[in-house]
Amino acid sequence: MNQHERSEKVKWFQNDRFGLFLHWGLYAVPARGEWVRSVEKMPEEAYLPFFDAFDPADFDPAAWARMAKNAGMRYAVLTAKHHDGFCLFDSALTDFKSTNTPFGRDIVREFLDAFRAEGLKVGLYYSLLDWHHPDYPAYGDRQHPMRENEAYRGRAQNFDRYLDYMHGQVRELLTGYGKIDIMWFDFSYDNMCGETWRATQLIQMARSLQPDLITDNRLEGGGGYQGSLLSAQPSFFSGDFACPEQIIPPQGIVDALGRPVAWEACVTMNENWGYCAHDLNYKPAPLLVRKLVECVSKGGNLLLNVGPDARGNFPEQSVQILEQIGRWMRKNSASIYGCGNAQLPKPEWGWLTKKGNTIYAHILERSIGPIAIPPLGGRIKSMRLVRDGSEIQRIEAFNTTNFPGTTFINFGPGHASYPLPDPIDSVVVIEVEP
């Protein structure tokens, strides 16, 4: 796939800008995060009781979809299978799946139906790792829970058999559940990378089954390494977008030739992806709104995670955060959807996003006196506050005459400093003549 073809495929993705990540599985029962098996070097027999306990009576995918939509999210990605190997779908290739738990339901199907019904695009996360499958490397593998367990040293494993299984499950997801918009693979490390996964064959299959599908770059990358997607000649399986994890790139992302690359920052609300009962270190909603704006201003997306609990509920803190983000988005989403990098210097008071000849000034900080709008590359035709459409007038006061060529605005009359209309982010839409 050439750069033009890739750019066309990701247009909807770069228009929608804001998505929901959902990490859910057996690890919600111990409630110590999605890596609990690896971190605690937990043997299989200690993990299997969580399979028998998985019965999320409160699971309501329609409610999940409504919360995502009300928060202003345009797409969502669910963990169809995480590293523990447990499947949230009715795979014919394993018994280790949600339909065999006391819950007995195909969670992937219900998720897809509910989120599509709300008009959201849908994606599925699929782990390339699998700590349950007997043919996935265990002893000596850097990630596996049994990496130091002498009982696993020298065990016979047939990795090709595992790859057949993995490819077969991806085929199931791409043939049995209707149109899938994103396939989110996770992740490559050490020699477990690229063709180790039969990556060319995997992507050939995926594109043949779902021609419009976009994929991330983790068949050869991870949260800290973006793979060949950023090179001058990306591999066949390089993916369609980069996904920096728990960080927002300082300058956005471009390839080796300076060409912009589609990307999304995947970010947790607290410190864990999967439900963790003791992790109350939640990021406040105003910070997350501002980080969404920062991503868009740098040409990227924000994929914000929620880890539902063992009963199928979003944590109350997550619900409150989504509600607060939604209140801001309902007033200001025009400055997010379809917008991108303004290709202008960052102002001291906030960020700029742009759509055509329309520039959105995201003002985060109150000024001393009127607020200076830097040159925007053309004559300013009009300025309005996005949240209510009210006109914003230029300020010409005694203390602005020393700065000819700079436009000053205020949220009140005269030269005094006034409180910002929105303490999170006051957005001014500026129409500029090219």
- Topology at the third CATH level for domain 3-332: TIM Barrel (3.20.20)
- Topology at the third CATH level for domain 342-434: Immunoglobulin-like (2.60.40)
Look up residue 284 and give its DSSP letter.
P
pLDDT level of residue 133 (50, 70, 90 thresholds) = very high
Task: Give the SS3 label for residue 280.
Answer: coil
pLDDT level of residue 97 (50, 70, 90 thresholds) = very high
Look up residue 302 and give its DSSP letter.
E
Q: Which two tokens mark 78? A: 């669910």
- The residues pairing with 303 across neighbouring beta strands, listed in sequence order, are 19, 266
The span from the CA of 262 to the CA of 142, in Å, is: 30
Question: Which residues lie closer than 8 Å to 356 by C-beta, 6 or more apart?
Answer: none
Mean pLDDT, rounded, for 49-63: 98
Least confident of 44-58, 343-357, 366-380: 366-380
pLDDT level of residue 224 (50, 70, 90 thresholds) = confident
H/E stretch holding 14 reads: helix 11-16
| Domain spans, the chain | 3-332, 342-434
**Closest by CA position to 322, among listed 89, 106, 19, 79:** 19
The span from the CA of 190 to the CA of 144, in Å, is: 13
Q: Strand runs (DSSP E) across 73-155, as ranges?
A: 75-81, 121-127
Q: What is the mean pLDDT of the chain?
A: 96
pLDDT level of residue 404 (50, 70, 90 thresholds) = confident
**Closest by CA position to 123, among listed 60, 81, 67, 75:** 75
